[in-house]
Amino acid sequence: MGGFSMSIGKWAGDTIQRTENVGKEAAIELFGSVINDTPVDKGTLRANWQATADSPATGQLADTDISGAQTVEKMTATVNALDQDFTVYLANNLPYAQVAEYGEWKDKNGNPANGPKTVNGFAIRAPAGMVRRNMARINTILNKQMVLIK
């Protein structure tokens, strides 16, 4: 009987670990997609995505990250360092993050901007936003990760 109990205990421990890993992998994929879908001019908006535990970041960063690689690397390290039963946040506190997300770019007359980087106020590189677009993909991301648990 001891062997069976130990096998069940090991299975339970392994399942908890796999579930935690799935949560982290899903967060990393979701957050990485948000970061990489962020439109880039100088890289400041992309660099200001901050992953934190327990509460959202409140400050702004002076960093730039045109490729997004450094921001994704920092986010991944933060998520991977979390304990079991984690809560993780991704925040961008630049005032124009919301403008980029919801297509609120305006021209000098206050009309939706049309120019080399915008169409009707939406960034050409992120017409469906960064967060909304990837939140719509969350079920696909989670389903893909859940296959790994089986």
CA distance 32 to 58: 20
| pTM, entire model | 0.79
CA distance 103 to 113: 9
Structure tokens at 124: 């050409």
Q: Which of 91, 31, 34 is nearest to 57 (CA)?
A: 91
Q: Which of 60, 26, 43 is nearest to 141 (CA)?
A: 26
pLDDT in tens, 43-81: 999 999 999 998 999 999 999 999 999 999 999 999 999
Domain limits, the chain: 14-147
Q: Kindly report the number of other CB atoms within 10 A of residue 118's CB atom.
A: 20
Series of mean pLDDT values for 10-residue runs along the chain (150 residues) = 49 53 86 94 96 94 97 97 87 93 88 84 83 84 60
Antiparallel, parallel or unpaired: β 88-91 and 122-123: unpaired
Cα–Cα distances in angstroms (integers) from residue 140 to residues 21, 109, 146, in the given order: 17, 41, 10
